[in-house]
Amino acid sequence: MPSITFIHPDGRSETAEADTGATAMATALTRGLDGILAECGGNAMCATCHVYVDAAWLDKLPPRSNEEDALLDGTAAERQPNSRLSCQIKITPELDGLMLRLPDRQT
Shortest distance (Å) from residue 42 CB to ligand FES: 5
Rounded least distance, CB 74 to ligand FES, Å: 10
Nearer to ligand FES, 11 or 35 (CB): 35
Are 48 and 39 within 8 A, CB to CB? yes
Does 61 bind ligand FES (CB under 6 A)? Our answer is no
Q: Which of 15, 42, 69, 99 contacts ligand FES by CB under 6 A? A: 42
- What DSSP assignment string belongs to 89-104? -B--GGGTTEEEEPPS
With CB under 6 A as the contact rule, the residue among 45, 55, 56, 58 that binds ligand FES is: 45
What is the H or E stretch that residue 16 is in? strand 13-17
- List C-alpha distances in Å: 103 to 6, 18, 75, 79, 89: 11, 21, 10, 9, 16
Question: Footprint of ligand FES on this chain (CB under 6 A)?
Answer: 25, 38-40, 42, 44-49, 71, 85, 87
